[in-house]
Every structure is written in structure tokens, then in C-alpha cells.
Chains A and B, each alone.
Chain A
């Protein structure tokens, strides 16, 4: 039927990875400062390029769900890979020429767990968090795909963040 559907998981992975690579390069060219960029910015153009406009509503909905979930999975893999490396050898801080971000709020695997935790409490909130944070959908569009009002989406987001916040806090 539609091309996106016929794509297997591997192809999607590859596409996400390639898009991310290109985009990361582009994003880094901008002045980097904390709290101004988001992962959603990062994937914004990937979606623009995928021209989902040709897809039916259901296909679009499916596509975004899949993309967000895949994105999350890829990132968890990165994070785990990094952790393994860290355990392997002591990594020196080689150069501070470009400066690093402040101490992280949490590492990604913790956030991943927090989203899992949220999913156990309220599946729709978790989906909302995924759609908003791992794709670049505007909230109104995300609400449409989720079949809720914008106000409900905002409530779900708020609830989701509070759950994650509490979960992360309890971890540390």
C-alpha cells in the first residue's frame, strides 16, 4: 500500500540514523547553549523531508508512533553503548576547548525507564511524551493523532512530566 508501511524496521532505523547524522551536524553549527535546543528540533527537518503529507491520516499516525518509538530505542542503544565504554576504561576529559553541558539532569537510560514507568500508569500520557519529545509534531497535531483535545494533551503532558520528574528524583 503505502511505501512507509512496507519499510521494514531495519530500513527505518537506517533512515533515522542517517537523518540524525545530517541533522546533528547542522544543529551543532548553531551556537550551542543549554535549554534552547531540543531533540524535537533535531528531528524537525527529518519529518519535513519525509513528506508525510502524501500519507493517509492513519498512516501518518502510525508513522509518527513508530518513528518516536524507534527514536527512543536508538537513543537508548547509544546511551547503553556509552555506559559500557565508560565502564571499560577511564576516559580522560581531553579538551575543554568547546566546553561541555552542565551536569546532566539524568542520563538517558533513566529517562527511558521513567517513560516505561509512566506507560504503566497511563499509556496515553507516555505516548504523548514520546510524540512530543521524539518527533517534532506541533502539539495540536499530536493531539489530533491521539484523538484528544489540545487541553487534554496539555494535561497529559503535565501529568507525564510530573511522573517522570518524581521517578528521576527518587532514583538519585
Chain B
């Protein structure tokens, strides 16, 4: 039986196919078949035949396409229209050109049919577009004329757009910049109209924008548009998105808003201006795409042009620099709430540009850049966030103030000028030193400041107001850097400039700050002198905001001098004269409540807490949470709560304090130390002495390193540490610390007798406990009159007096007399808080005095009362509680 050619080919192929390739060749060559067969099989073995998937795909595609093209034919009639020819097809269906066939008009329309095999989702999309378009009658949106169902297929009849796609049009039209922007405005107007109807397009891209021969823009394809307030759960599948024009929020599946369309408009404008897509599309990996869209900020349009990547740029890069760059970049910011809110705002800014007016858009603010930088690098040691935040927010605040004062036009303009000048100055300053240019490198604030100073001193042509504003800022920065001499220098310079400019409010602010600086640096005479000058200035602008602030500064100084009642009077009077406008001023109100609370924190703790809460709330409204000012406020709030023994609440607030301060400061910064010492105080109060010691020592070290020894903060920490050692019965350690505290307070502010006196009171108590009764009494002689003259309660000092009187208990007469006196003050002591350590400490001590006087029953009564209270004062597992329990058990054992 003779084989056909085909049989032979197959036989030879099958015979060799399982061999390795080389052997296949020699096998074929050495076979008996004809050359024709051999050649054929030699060709065949070069083909793998791995085309299973491809074959299947072609068959499937053909099956599907075939099904689609079955039902619609030329010349069919749809409503009153006759189908002329198919003009388009795609994933969704097909589009036919049709003409009105009832002899009425020669009117052409486009009829869009959905494919027969449409899924539920696609049907939904089609219906959606049909419904939305019905409500969108606008010259720049292709109009819906009708719709229905034909042979089971949904269709819609649309206005026929005789035109070309956007970029095809541009290539031909060769428009000037202005005309290009006007064309863009038409796109925006279509989107704005949709937004006004509550519809977000969600799929704006060049291929959805057509331009008619008359230059009229038509926005197409509202297929995935949706009402603004629609449920967001089922947004869209990947298949419906074109990656390159999708917004970060769409990629992430976040909520879509009108700003999503703004983003796409920005991309279109970018492309119109640069002839280049904003986001690179060279990657094939979806993950990389997602990264680019959500994280990578494109080059500014002008930079894109300068980058030389565009062969034949339509526009010059210089044309785009500044406003247009800013406008585009504002549209395409990754963060939805930092873009224009909707198409209207884009239109406003394009018009602003066309009319050479200032734009809403500005580049990323320094504040934003610094914020981002700080997020990346928690602070380096040289840098204080407070300073930077201050540095940046001040001009912004000034600018906003400038904008607010519209009724006082001249003044507003002047303010705006200063603000702009200041911002400009700071911008160039930052650019010159370029601390922001180097990602990740620490900012050397000193070099920034040095550069700024040079610049300020060089620029002699500056107007006095600008010099004043800048000097004030430098002063503030140095103030925050704790560089008092420099701060003083710049406040003086600011005062001179404000005087020159005749700006009384600025003058008053600078004078007040200078007075505070002098006070804090313990130049009290100078402080008083400048305050007097400031009073004179304030009397000229009695009802101004600045005059109110002046009063708060005065109250602060009184409080810090220990003249709390005076301070309270000053602030209460100020408060009673506040205007409605003042009450709306969150910054001012926060300040007032804070200063007031500080003034009354010993005399009316409940009210002080109330004020602290108010102050904190106002400050949050003023600066938000992650800000040094807010930190200061909630720290006070924590202290107020502690003073009221509301420990649970205090602990919650303290946790927030420490969290914020860790975020804001480096851990060798005095602000951080101050938060730490707050925590130390908290632990101390609850009886956790060992833990408190660590924290106190750490804060003291930071203060010493930063301020040196001669400083109130250092002195305060020394005093607190001494107190802790006293509570731990480590008198030898406590003594030199108390002594040092007294010395420092005297050296720093000899006139502040009450502050020195409280310090001496502590030392007197300790000396008495160390049996140095005479020394203790001498101190009491000095300090008790001071307490009396300041209306301070001498109760605890009197107890020291009795202890000294009892002494070693050798004189029964003295014992008798002391016991009587103790009985006399007992009612007063009972008025003191039962939950405070102060009263507890006094009661334990009294019980020991009674024991010394051998009045053991009474002594035991006092001790038991103290033990009972100690449970409320100290935590159950604390050192404090343990000390007291130890005392009790020692006593019981000795009997």
C-alpha cells in the first residue's frame, strides 16, 4: 500500500520528533524518504506547535465578533433614522452614522449600540450614561437625542460630532498659548457643567475629547460618570480605567470627588502645554504604574520642556514657568484636598492667568515642603520644629490677615505687600541655603539664619515695615532657639523700624516681646522700663487686638513673678473688655484662658482646669494638634488634672503630651525636657519614686546642658529632685539640692521674694527632719512673713515650726505647747485635699512628732489616718505606699 506524501511526512515527523534536535536532523538526513519529504520535515521540526492558546483565542474572538456583527445592518431603520454606515466599534459596542429618514430634515446622528454579549456591568454603564446624558444639555457635551432597544440591543442616539480627536486637532490648528488655554477652558466648562449637575465624569482623557471643525469642544463618554453623592462601594473595575489618566484615588479605590476630574483636567492641560504626557508610561508593570500615579510627582511642565524630552515643543518653557506651572501642578497634586476643588476653580485660575491676575494656585508652600521633610526626618539636633513651623507659618498667617482686611483697603494691600515680601525673602533664603533641596540631609538651621541675616542687612532698600516684619521673625526664631541676646537685638531693630513706619500695633508687639525677653533673661529693670514704654504705646491703641495681647504679656510676667493675684486681676479686667471680634479670635482666646489659668492655678484649681480645657480647645482650632503651641496647652491641662488628683484623666492626656513631643522635638531639647519633667511630677505624685527619679535626672541633665546652671528651669528641676529625695527619706541627697535651689532663685531674681521663700520653706522642712532645728527656725523667720505678705498659706510652715519646737522631745513643756498648737491647726489641715501628698506628708510627720513626745496613742491615730489616706494618694504598687506601710509595720513591731 503506497503512502501519500502526507502520510510520509507524518511518519518521518513522528519517527524523529522524540529525539534531541541534532539527532533529529541526522535522522531525517539518513532516512530513505525523498528529498522533498526530508526538506518538509526539516522545516517542520523548527516549529514547536505550542499554539494551543493562540488557536483557542482566535477561535473565541471570531465567535464573539461574529455574534456581534450579526444583527445590525446598513439601511436598517432605528426610530426615524436610517443607518448609513458603521463608524466605530470597540469593547462596548458599535457606533453607526444615521440620517433622519422622514423627509423632515437632513439631520445626521450617531447611534451607539451596546454589544449583544454585554455583561450586567456593561449594560449598567450604558444605561448610566444614557440617564446622565439626558440631564446634561451643554454645547460642550455631545447631546443625547434619544434611545431605545433594537433587536434586544440597547442603543442611544447622539448628536453627530463632525470633528477630530483633541490632539489631532491641535496638530493641525497650531494654536497660540491663549487659544490653547481657551480650548482647554471649553473642556473645563463641560466638566464644570456636569459638576453643577452633581455629576463626576471620572474618565476624562484626550480620546474622550473631540473638537469640531468650528473649534467647538465636545466631551464624550459619560459611561462611568456618576452622581457625586452616589454609593462608592462599587466604583469601577480595572478594565474600565485607563491607567495613564487615572487619579491616585481611583487607583487606590478611594472616594472619587469633583477633584478627581480636576486631576484629569490637569493631565490634559499638561499634555496640551508640553505635548507630553505628565506621567511616564514606559513601564509595563502595573505595580510600577500604581507607584508612579500615587507617589511620583511629575516634572513641572516648564521643567519637562527644558528637560529636552520633547522634540518640537509647541511652547517655550519660559512661558509656562510660574503661574502655569503652578496651575497645572495644583490640578495634579496627589492629595485630593490640595487640588482645586472642582472645574470651576480651574476655570477661575485659567481666567486669572489670561487676565494677568494673581492665581489661587501657588507652588507647594514652604510650610508643606518643610512638613513633608519633617515627616521624613524626625528632627536633627540643631533644628527645632517650633522654629521652622514658626518661620513658615508666620508669613502665611500675615498673608491671611492681609486678605481679611478688605474693608481697609490700603492697609490690606500694605499687609499683603509685607507678607509677600516676607514670604519671598524666606523663599529665597531657603533656596539660597537650599536645606530643602537635599532630601534626607539634616537642615543646618544656623546656616539658614546666617544667610538670612546677611540678606536682611544687605538689603538696605527694604521698606521699614518689611525690615520690621523680618526682624520680628528673626527675633521670634532666636527666641525659640533660646538665644536671648540675639532675640533682643532683633526686637530692638524691629522696634526702631516700626517706629520709623509709624506702625503702633507692630511696635507694641515688639515692645511687649522685648520686655518679656528681658524678664526671662533676668534683666528685670530693663524689662520694667520696656513695659512702661509698651504701656504708653498701648494707651494709643486701646481697643486693638495687640493691646489685649499686651495685657496677657503683663499678666504672664506677674504670674512668673509669683504675683498671681495681680495677674488674675489684670487678665479678668482684660477679659471683661473683650469685643465680639476678640471672642471669635481663637488664637487670642487660647492665650487669654491659658494666662488666666496660670494665674489662678493655686487659688482655684477647678476653674483653672476649666480654663485649661478651653485654652486647649481654642489652640487646637488655631494650630491643630501637631504643633508646639498645642503641646504647651495640653501639657498645662495634664498638670491641672494632676493638681486635682484626677490621675486617670491626667495619664491619658500625658500620654498624648509625650507622643506629640517625641514627634516634635529631639530628645535633648528643653521643650522635651519640660514634658518629661511633667511626667516625672506625675509619677512622683502617684508615689512611683524610683521611676520619677530617673525622669527628673534626665530632664535636669537636658536643662543643665542646654541652659547651664543659672536658669529658672534648671533651678525648678533641682528643687523637684530634692523634694523627691526627701520623700524617699534620702535627706543627705536632698539637702545640697534644696540649698542650691535657694541660691539660684535668689541669684536669678532677688526681688522675687516669694519664689525664694517657697524654696527656703522646703529647705527649712528638710533641716527640721534632719534635726537641724535652729537652722530651720532661722529660715522660717525669714520666709513666713513673706508668705504672709503674699497672702500665702503658712500652714505647712507652722508645722515645721512645731517640729522644731518639739525637737528631740527632750522638753515636755515644748511638747505640750506644740501639741496644743497642732490641735489648733488641725481643722485647717483637714480643709486641705485628702488626696494630695502635701497633707499626707504633714500627717505622717505630725504622727512622728507625737511619737517623739511619747503621745503614742494619738501618734498611732494620726498614722492610721495617714495610712488610710495613702491608699487614695499613692498607687497600690508604688514606692510611696510602701514607705508608709513600712513605717506602720516598723512601729507595730517595735511595740
**Chain A positions near chain B (C-beta within 8 angstroms):** 20-21, 24-25, 27-29, 31-32, 34-35, 37-42, 74-75, 77-79, 81-82, 85, 88-89, 91-101, 104-108, 111, 120-122, 125, 133-134, 155, 158-166, 168-169
Contacts and interface: CB of A to CB of B under 8 A. Distances in A.
A98 B240 contact: yes
A81 B66 contact: yes
18 contacts: A24-B67, A25-B116, A37-B60, A78-B65, A78-B69, A92-B87, A93-B89, A94-B88, A97-B224, A98-B122, A101-B57, A105-B55, A105-B57, A108-B62, A122-B6, A133-B55, A162-B49, A165-B47
A95 B69 contact: no
Given A97-B92, A98-B92, A29 B119 contact: yes
B54 A97 contact: no
A94 B55 contact: no
B63 A122 contact: no
Nearest to B241: A97
B94 interface: yes
A79 B62 contact: yes
B61 interface: yes
B51 interface: yes
A95 B67 contact: no
Contact of A91 (B44, B89, B239): B89
A97 B88 contact: no
B66 A97 contact: no
B39 to A, nearest CB: 12
Contacts of B118: 25, 28
B533 interface: no
A39 B90 contact: no
Contacts of A21: 67, 116-117
Q: Is the interface of A mostly helix, strand, loop or mixed?
A: helix
Interface string B114-150: 0011111010000000000000000000000000000
Contacts of A100: 90-91
B57 A34 contact: yes
Interface in B1-46: 5-7, 9-10, 13-14, 17, 43-44, 46
B240 A82 contact: no
A121 B59 contact: no
Given A81-B69, A89-B86, A122-B6, A38 B59 contact: yes
Contacts of B86: 85, 89, 91
Contact of B117 (A28, A108, A161): A28
B58 interface: yes
A75 B63 contact: yes
Given A97-B91, A105-B51, A38 B221 contact: no
Interface in B83-124: 85-92, 94-95, 116-120, 122
A105 B58 contact: yes
A78 B60 CA distance: 12
Contacts of A121: 5-6, 9-10
A74 B66 contact: yes
B53 interface: yes
A104 B67 contact: no
Contact of B57 (A35, A75, A81, A120): A35
B10 A165 contact: no
A96 B90 contact: yes
Contacts of A27: 60, 117
Contact of A24 (B55, B95, B117): B117
B47 A39 contact: no
Nearest to A76: B62
Nearest to B62: A108
B60 to A, nearest CB: 5
A28 B64 contact: yes
Nearest to A162: B49
A85 B116 CA distance: 18
Nearest to B41: A162
Nearest to B84: A89
Contact of B49 (A79, A95, A101, A165): A165
Nearest to A74: B66
A17 to B, nearest CB: 8
A165 B116 contact: no
Contact of A111 (B5, B58, B85, B117): B58
Contacts of A91: 86-89
A94 B111 CA distance: 12
Contact of B63 (A42, A94, A104): A42
Contacts of B207: 95-96
Given A159-B14, A165-B47, A24 B63 contact: yes
Contacts of A166: 43-44, 46-47
B89 A101 contact: no
A122 B69 contact: no
B336 to A, nearest CB: 23
Contacts of A165: 47-49, 51
Contacts of B120: 29
B56 interface: yes
B419 to A, nearest CB: 48
A61 to B, nearest CB: 22
Contacts of B62: 75, 78-79, 107-108
Contact of A107 (B17, B56, B58, B85): B58
